[in-house]
């Protein structure tokens, strides 16, 4: 099987400390968000898929390549660590250029590609300055440039949006989307859940070294049966609508929105609820919109992991 990033029963222990345990994953192309509290194993998972740490047990394959085959693996993988670590004395350009030479690119080609990568992260003006003089956001961008420079098919980015201003964030997100749209695998870890929600095609939720959930957010949300689905309805007569809805047995809770034109409902059976709504709409209540209120990463995170360390 040559497609995707595959973890087969992977565990990693640092001595007696658990990194990740019994991870079985198949990560498809597109943007995948890794979400979890501090110490949940996000960075360990990234280090495992880039071969920087070896699993204590299990097997990992990245597009059919074993992670200990660094010669072939790092032609396909670009990794940006979360650590602010750079060799001393190098300018932004030298940093990208020297590491491109390490990948086996000829000096002429490395120079051209390095400038391309620097241009992609909008650092052309600062490329000849020493990295030591860069701001935090610029360091983050040059780190992204080194991960992108050799045009990898798999981009593994540990907290890539930390320290970036809103404009730079949106530029970087556009960059990730462009890579994903080209068919690449972009794996991003982040604490900023609303950004993960916006960016990701699928998420992997980790807690205490275990994968708690994986897949598209809506699918994950549908699997969480113990929490009733929340639905927000904007309509002209929310009280009447609530009264009618409570006649069915699958309704649990309803609250009227502050502006008096909305209704937040909790239901055990979303499918039957939507069917019932079709009937109610015919009964003269003008419904402006119906939208799920808790099928985002934040809600899923709160349901599955708890609300510790949630960044809204």
Partner 1 sequence: MAVYRRSYKPYSGTLTAPWSRFFVLFRYSRRDLFRSKLQTGFFVACFFYPIVCLVMIYLAHSASFLAKIGIPAELISIDNMFFFHFMNVQGVLAFLMTAFAGPGLISPDLANGALPLYFCRPFSRAEYVLGKSSVLGILLSEITWVPGVVLFIIQASFAGAHWAWDNLWIAGSLILASLIWIAILSMLAMALSAWVKWRIVAGALLLAVMFFGAGFGQAVNVVLRTETGYFFNLAYLMAAVWEGLFRVDLGRAISVGQAWIALLVYCFFCLWLLMRKVRAYEVIR
Strand-pair partners of 62: 5, 65
Q: Which is nearer to partner 1, 50 or 140 (CB)?
A: 50
The footprint of partner 1 on this chain (CB under 8 A) covers a number of residues equal to 47
Residue from 40, 91, 105, 207 in contact with partner 1 (CB under 8 A) = 105
**DSSP state letters, 149-206:** TT--SEEEEESTTTT--HHHHHHHHHHHHHHHHTT-EEEEE-SBHHHHHHH-SEEEEE
116 forms part of the interface with partner 1 (CB under 8 A): no
5-34: contacts with partner 1 (CB under 8 A): 14-15, 29-30
Nearest approach, Cβ of residue 15 and partner 1 (Å): 5
- Which candidate, 26, 35, 37, 30, places its Cα nearest to that of 4? 26
**Two tokens at 46?**
């990234």
Using a 10 angstrom Cβ sphere, with 0-12 exposed, 13-18 middle and 19 or more buried, the burial of residue 16 is exposed
**Two tokens at 237?**
């007569």
Asked whether 256 and 238 are in contact (CB, 8 A), the reply is yes
Residue from 18, 56, 101, 257 in contact with partner 1 (CB under 8 A) = 101
Nearest approach, Cβ of residue 113 and partner 1 (Å): 8
Residue from 150, 173, 245, 298 in contact with partner 1 (CB under 8 A) = 150
Q: Which is nearer to partner 1, 109 or 253 (CB)?
A: 109
151 forms part of the interface with partner 1 (CB under 8 A): yes
Nearest approach, Cβ of residue 109 and partner 1 (Å): 5
Q: Which is nearer to partner 1, 31 or 276 (CB)?
A: 31
List own/partner pairs for 24-28 with CB under 8 A and 24 or more apart: 24/211, 25/204, 25/211, 25/214, 27/185, 27/187, 27/202, 27/204, 28/3, 28/4, 28/185, 28/202
Residue from 106, 170, 248, 255 in contact with partner 1 (CB under 8 A) = 106
Sheet bearing 154-158, strands edge to edge: 77-80, 154-158, 185-189, 30-35, 202-207, 210-215
Considering only the stretches 117-125, 159-167, 176-184, 223-231, report the one whose residues sit in contact with partner 1 under the rule CB under 8 A.
176-184
Asked whether 189 and 34 are in contact (CB, 8 A), the reply is yes
Q: How far apart are CA 264 and CA 293, in angstroms?
A: 8
Q: Which is nearer to partner 1, 76 or 287 (CB)?
A: 76
Q: Which is nearer to partner 1, 61 or 267 (CB)?
A: 61
Considering only the stretches 86-94, 227-235, 246-254, 289-297, report the one whose residues sit in contact with partner 1 under the rule CB under 8 A.
86-94
24-83: contacts with partner 1 (CB under 8 A): 29-30, 47, 50, 52-53, 70-79, 81, 83
Rule CB under 8 A: which residues touch partner 1? 14-15, 29-30, 47, 50, 52-53, 70-79, 81, 83, 85-89, 98-99, 101-106, 109, 113, 146, 150-151, 153, 179-184, 201, 216
């Amino acid at each position: 099987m040559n497609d995707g990033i595959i973890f087969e029963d992977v565990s990693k222990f640092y001595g007696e400390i658990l990194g990740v345990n019994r991870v079985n994953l198949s990560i498809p192309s597109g943007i995948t968000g890794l979400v979890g509290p501090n110490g949940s194993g996000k960075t360990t998972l990234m280090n495992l898929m880039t071969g920087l740490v070896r699993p204590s047990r299990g097997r990992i394959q990245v597009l059919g390549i074993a992670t200990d085959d660094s010669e072939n693996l790092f032609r396909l993988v670009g990794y940006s660590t979360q650590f602010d670590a750079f060799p001393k004395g190098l300018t932004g350009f030298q940093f990208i250029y020297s590491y491109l030479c390490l990948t086996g690119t000829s000096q002429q080609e490395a120079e051209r590609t390095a400038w391309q990568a620097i241009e992609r992260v909008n650092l052309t003006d600062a490329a000849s300055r020493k990295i030591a003089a860069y701001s935090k956001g610029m360091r983050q961008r040059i780190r992204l440039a080194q991960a992108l420079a050799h045009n990898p098919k798999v981009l593994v980015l540990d907290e890539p949006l930390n320290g970036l201003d809103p404009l730079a964030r949106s530029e970087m997100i556009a960059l990730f989307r462009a890579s994903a749209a080209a068919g690449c695998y972009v794996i991003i870890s982040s604490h900023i859940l609303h950004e993960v929600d916006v960016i990701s095609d699928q998420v992997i939720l980790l807690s205490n070294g275990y994968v708690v959930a994986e897949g598209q957010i809506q699918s994950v949300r549908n699997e969480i049966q113990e929490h009733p689905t929340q639905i927000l309805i904007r309509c002209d007569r929310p009280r009447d609508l609530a009264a009618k809805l409570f006649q069915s047995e699958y309704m649990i809770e309803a609250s009227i929105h502050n502006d008096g034109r909305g209704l937040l409902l909790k239901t055990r059976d979303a499918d039957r609820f939507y069917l019932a709504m079709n009937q109610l709409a015919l009964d003269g209540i003008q419904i402006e919109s119906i939208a799920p209120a808790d099928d985002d990463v934040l809600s899923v995170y709160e349901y599955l992991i708890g609300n510790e360390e949630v960044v809204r």
